[in-house]
Amino acid sequence: MAAMGSGLFSVASKITDSGGKPPAKHGALPASVDTRGIRTKSVSSRGLVKTNAQAPSKINGTRVGVMDGLKIDDDFTSSPPPRTFINQLPDWSMLLAAITTIFLAAEKQWMMLDWKPKRPDMLTDPFGLGSIVQNGMVFRQNFSIRSYEIGADRTASVETLMNHLQETALNHVKNAGLLGDGFGSTPEMCKKKLIWVVTKMQVMVDRYPTWGDVVQVDTWVAPSGKNGMRRDWLLRDYNTGEILTRATSCWVMMNKKTRKLSKLPDEVRAEIGNYFVDTPPIVDEDSRRLPKLTDSNADYIRTGLTPRWSDLDINQHVNNVKYVGWILESAPLPVVESHELASMTLEYRRECTRDSVLDSLTSVIGNGLGDLATFGQVECQHLLRLKDGAEIVKGRTEWRPKRSYRIGSFGQLPAEST
């Protein structure tokens, strides 16, 4: 081993001696590197040999390989190979591997997710956009009852149903291509600064849907007198076809600037006349006169009701659905706790603005509240008025004993394992 070491170092010493420079001291920069750290043209410190350099032929009697004909370039530099089109291309194998990894991970996550709905009815109209059916005369839209739309009775509130009716009415106008810059106003109505206002609403509820139910709402329009329009709704259970709610309403024109009622212009009649159907109202008209309700004959009074900013619609008056909630604010609690609203008739007298302060009055007709346990049906009269006594809405409600509603699998918690 000593002979081999001396042989190798002898070659290195010859190369160093050929340069005529002494070896660098330990810790000093090599002679082939300038002060900027850039290697100059010379032989590297790894002891590269020139062509025909001879190694010792024998070491301890054993022949070693002779590197004959090995040509080493004297001009050794650290510069990279020249840039060509080929070596500038990306490493496609690495890019393909990365894309494959991403797709495999996404596929794994997709397979882990149970994306299919638990019930087939959830596939129906998943976005709730609705469509025009029956030769363009009826608009149909489906709604899924959400958890925030049910109340203490575990059923959808009457205000939820009223909102669904209103939504289908507006979408009907929109899908027919008649929606202008207003709350259900047509283009000709917008030109003349006209809006629709409801004058009467009748609602009959046969059964209230529960959380997770899918309801199907049909709506259509018909003429009402010389200057009005009637709109009807039919709400069914999507799965069974059972009729849940029927409603009919009457609407007239109001000038948006003067806030006064207006006649139906011929231009507007031409826009909407093709969508009128010649059918009787889906709910027979309740022509019973609503008696005058005052502080003296009212059983329950709730005062100081004021609209919030969120209660206003885009026409800057209180949405008619909000009136229903205010009317029920004065409904007797024993009736609300033991009964459910079966029907409702509302007559709208004037609009309510954001600065209004209202009172809600209710009286119980008939035998009163003393025998609710034995007398099933309860009828109430209602009045919503301003502080100065001006009537906003008059109404009549009928109540029936509550039924037992059961929420399906959506509301059931898994049994605790033992």
Residues carrying an active site annotation: 315, 317, 352
Q: Within 13 Å, how many C-alpha atoms sit on residue 212's CB side?
A: 13
DSSP H stretches of helix in 176-246: 187-191
Host H or E run for residue 341: strand 339-348
- What is the rounded distance in angstroms from the CA atom of residue 223 to the CA atom of residue 172? 16
β-bridge mates for residue 233, sequence order: 219, 247
The DSSP result for 358-389, as a single string, is EEEEEEEESSTTTTTTT---EEEEEEEEETTS
What's the CA gap between 346 and 394, in Å, rounded? 6
Using DSSP, how many helices (H) and how many strands (E) does the chain show?
8, 14
Task: Give all strands (DSSP E) within 21-168, no chain letters.
Answer: 58-59, 62-63, 131-133, 138-144
E-state strands within 184-330: 194-205, 214-224, 228-237, 243-255, 261-262, 300-305
Residue 271 phi/psi, 5-degree rounding, is -70, -45
The per-residue b/e assignment along 54-79, b for 16 or more CB within 10 angstroms, e otherwise, is eeeeeeeeeeeeeeeeeeeeeeeeee
Please say whether the beta carbons of 172 and 246 come within 8 A: no
The amino acid at residue 65 is G
What angle is formed at CA 181 by the lines to CA 180 and CA 186, rounded to 5 degrees?
Answer: 30
Q: Burial letters for 283-302: b for 16+ Cβ neighbours within 10 Å, e otherwise?
A: beeeeeeeeebeeeebbbeb
The sign of the dihedral angle between the CA atoms of 72, 75, 76, 80 is: negative
* Burial of 361 (C-beta count, 10 Å sphere; 0-12/13-18/19+): buried
CA-CA distance, 235 to 283, in Å (whole number)?
Answer: 13
Indicate the DSSP class of residue 351.
-
